[in-house]
Structure 1
């Protein structure tokens, strides 16, 4: 059910980790170390992914190495949105991957790449096609963000919301399918690449789109999915019931699950971007989720070959 566990989401983005509370990312490094150790203790065969960085930053990777965090992950991940938020061109994707490969011996995955339809749906079509051309075969895993547009009434998970200006409103146009369930032209452009370029789709607590998402992904032939299990949501009523339903629905996909979002009562910032008071509690959450959804499989011992058959083989 789970092929990889990602530790946090965009930790060098102030919308997802508060740099005022952890300016040198040392507390984040401790979270990665403890979570990586906890995941490995439960299932040593599971791939551990350092939360996808955004922006793509060599110095941040080196800082994580200095904190010892890279010793407890197997993959380094990057996120990029060159036609929406980043200050570089889409054609630079291979060079951006190479920048990170130059400072680590870990494989580099692109765990979020997307182009929205905020300006024009034709721009998204171009973005899908060009992204596939540049990245398929270049990196082991690619996840397109995302399948569905985010409904405007839900609000985007950022720290500063509307104060971000047009950057905030682009969050609502990143899907290949509109919020009303109708496909965009970008979906047709994505379909030929679905087996090689997976999807990244966040599912909100009790998300009504879950079953539709599964149906669309199976229809498209998607094999690889990235999603999240929110530590903050784990304190909601019947959280495990929701997590069970989500993971059962996604059982047919090779899933990278992201663990992130600090419960408000467990961090000094009283916000999901806050480092936790006790990073071991985050590690314990990661371990519990792996134990529940991706425990180590015991390899069956081969059956003994009967003596009569053995004699025919010698």
Structure 2
């Protein structure tokens, strides 16, 4: 079942939203307002989540409040990777949550993407799983570990500058608990101890061949909550609705936080998936369509966070 809908992924991260086109995030805020209202019109009981921020930035949240975006969401989400990308230690997790809570005391904070990769050493990832659970379980209502699978090298990571980012780019391929060849890393056993309290975040590509395998792994691990995405850009591919139907049916036994993101090239101000839309209402309309199809008011969760 669908537990919530997230409006974009890491909108304050220049790899996922182009700040040159939207320097004060006013277009993103307008997108949130339109989309939040559209989701509520279809299903007023579905939890609306402000796209997980990375970096964790209370000043950006205040900017969103100033633009009126916080009025149309129920949850504020954060993403953190202190060992791989962020400039703060893993032990600072409670402080980072407190920074956001201080500026949005009226809304729950969810940690919708957390993780430690195995780029440097697989032992570091195993430590990261346990330490992240120790610091966040009980502190925030929902936590999603990124990710179940390593990203295949041949697929490429969804960043703006790719290999030019140096090791920051290549770390994207080592964030999973399971290697590209399907073999488990040591961290998988550590995660299994926390699977009931810490969900998973796993992107599925269009016609992703790993979907059924992922479902089996998650059920074996005892995972209850999953965050994944539905791509606005993919919705224009032939057979998109059939793929979305298959994906959401396969995931129906989990409490799913679905993330809406990625701009079709022909509808962006710039021909890139990170671009803001020429008309944000078109993105809102896509989200409303998806909510109507996969989380209509009659079947969605009836309580908010």
TM-score with structure 1 setting the length: 0.95
CA distance in 2: counterparts of 1:272 and 1:287, whole angstroms = 20
Residue matched to 2:224? 223
- Equivalent residue, structure 1, for 2:84: 84
Matched, 1:196 2:211: no
Query: How many angstroms apart in 1 are the aligned matches of 2:52 and 2:14?
Result: 13
User: What is residue 211 of structure 1 aligned with on the other side?
Assistant: 212
Q: Report the alpha carbon displacement of residue 115 of structure 1 after superposing the two structures with TM.
A: 0.1
The runs of at least 4 aligned residues of structure 1 exceeding 4 Å deviation read none
Partner residue in 2 for 1:123: 124
Shift of 1:43: 0.3
- In 2: Cα distance, 1:19 partner to 1:35 partner: 20
Deviation at 1:298, TM superposition (A): 7.4
1:297 Cα deviation after fit:
1.0
Report the count of equivalent residues. 299
1:148 equivalent in alignment to 2:156:
no
SS at match of 2:193: helix
Greater Rg by CA: 1
Alignment of 1:129-144 (within 5 A): 129-144=130-145
- The match for 2:66 is 66
Does 1:253 find its partner at 2:243?
A: no
Q: Is 1:162 matched with 2:163?
A: yes
Shift of the 124–296 alpha-carbon distance from structure 1 to 2, 3 Å rule, reads same
Any residues of structure 2 matched to 1:169-184 within 5 Å, and which?
Answer: 169-184=170-185
Measure, in 1, the Cα distance between the counterparts of 2:270 and 2:180. Answer: 32
2:56 — aligned with what? Answer: 56
In structure 2, the gaps of 5 or more residues are: 301-305
Return 5+ residue gaps in structure 1 as ranges.
300-314
Whole-angstrom CA distance in 2 between matches of 1:61 and 1:273: 20
Rounded Cα–Cα distance in structure 2 between residues aligned with 1:98 and 1:141: 15
**What SS does the aligned partner of 2:178 have?**
coil
What is the alpha-carbon distance in structure 2 between the residues aligned to residue 229 and residue 159 of structure 1? 19
Residues 169, 184 of structure 1: alpha-carbon distance in 2 compared, 3 angstrom cutoff: same
The 1-side partners of 2:298 and 2:289 are apart by: 16
Mapped partners of 2:167, 2:126: distance in 1? 21
Distance in 2 between the 1:13 and 1:272 partners? Answer: 13
Give me the whole-angstrom Cα distance separating, in 2, the residues matched to 1:80 and 1:269: 28
Distance 1:185 1:142 in 2: 21
TM-score (norm 2): 0.97
Matched ranges for 1:88-107 at <5 A: 88-104=88-104, 105-107=106-108
The 1-side partners of 2:273 and 2:67 are apart by: 22
SS at match of 1:255: strand
CA RMSD, 1 decimal: 0.8
Question: Take 2:208 and 2:154, find their aligned partners in 1: how far apart are those partners?
Answer: 14
> Deviations 1:107-133 (Å, cap 9, x if unpaired)?
100000000000000000000000000
**What is aligned with 2:234?**
233
